[in-house]
Amino acid sequence: MAVLNHPPSSPDLPAIKGRALNLRRKMMRMASGKGEGYIAQGLAMADCLATLYFHEMRYDPTNPDWKERDRFVLSTGHYSIAMYAVLAEAGTLQDEELVTYGLNGSRLPMSTFDDIPGVEIVGGSLGHGLGQAVGMALGLKLDGSSARVFCEFSDGELQEGSTWEAAMGAATFNCDNLVVIIDCNGIQADGVVTVKIEPVADKMTAFGFETIEVDGNSVEALTDALAKLRAPNGKPKCIVQRTIPGFGIPTIMARDRAHFVRIDNSEWTALTAELERENG
């Protein structure tokens, strides 16, 4: 039977925070021994994904093709470590498979492929996730479906013209079943975001979105924002979330080059212990 995961009026914040911690634990196990990877972005996304999958969204982990399921589109394919962690926590993937993350021959590469149950798109080249999400949202509306589409993309993707074209399309077609989550962490591959994209929230509002800006590492702020954006009022929705790469592990948070973190094999035990201390 499908799990109608309609959000309760009062979120169970301790339970959601516990899920976020579990996601961070899974990601640390996945990244351990790999030497490098996108662990910092994954750790930062844990609160958002825990809030979506264990409070806001409706889906059936035993039936990922259920037509009335809410969709989650991960545009930043290199955040795959977080995506696999939440799918395992939700029961779509097996925990045992997570250790193959990033290895040759694994079906869990460092950038998502859509042959994994629960992964909606190939999150490869940046700037295309929102366009695909708008198409999904419009298709669902035309089908008379009550399902919603949640689309995460990064502040770096606001440097892509296709993102703004898709945003205009969402407003033009009244995609009020679309919730956009912009992960604003201020970084791209070689340092800080180079193009002037601020003020992000004001720009999304000007493009026709109902917009709220929050601390993306606060479960309280995320649940509150999502509750405020549920009404089908003809406008697409947007959450601008400010996150800190490596959130939950201060040593990783302090790394200068947080986009693609390099970690020696000797560091993992101490970093995992730090995660538990910070969240104990």
**Has residue 113 got a pLDDT over 90?**
no
pLDDT of residue 132: 96
> How far apart, in Å, are the Cα atoms of 258 and each of 8, 217, 276?
36, 16, 21
> Which residue is associated with the tokens 């074209």?
165
pLDDT of residue 193: 67
Name the nearest CA neighbour of 108 among 207, 34, 44: 34
Among 211, 221, 230, 235, which Cα is nearest to 70's? 230
Taking only the tens place, the pLDDT of each residue in 257-278 is 665 666 778 888 899 999 999 8
Sign of CA dihedral 102, 104, 108, 109: positive
| CA geometry: angle 163, 205, 227, nearest 5 deg | 100
pLDDT reading at 188 higher than 80? no
What is the Cα 136 distance to its own chain's centre? Answer: 17
Task: Give me the chain's average pLDDT, please.
Answer: 89
Per-residue confidence (pLDDT) for residue 5, from 0 to 100 = 55
Domain limits of the chain? Answer: 16-278
User: 199 preceded by cis ω (within 30°)?
Assistant: yes
Provide the H-helix boundaries in 111-254: 129-142, 161-172, 200-206, 219-228, 250-253
Q: φ, ψ for residue 188 (rounded to 5)?
A: -135, -170
**φ/ψ bin of 209: left (φ > 0), alpha (ψ from -120 to 50), beta (otherwise):** beta
List, in order, residues 6 or more apart from 166 with CB less than 8 Å away: 130, 131, 133, 134
> How large is the average pLDDT for residues 152-165?
93
Per-residue pLDDT tens over the stretch 61-103: 888 888 899 999 999 988 899 999 999 999 999 999 999 998 8
Per-residue model confidence (pLDDT) at position 235: 98
Architecture of the domain defined by 16-278 = 3-Layer(aba) Sandwich (3.40)
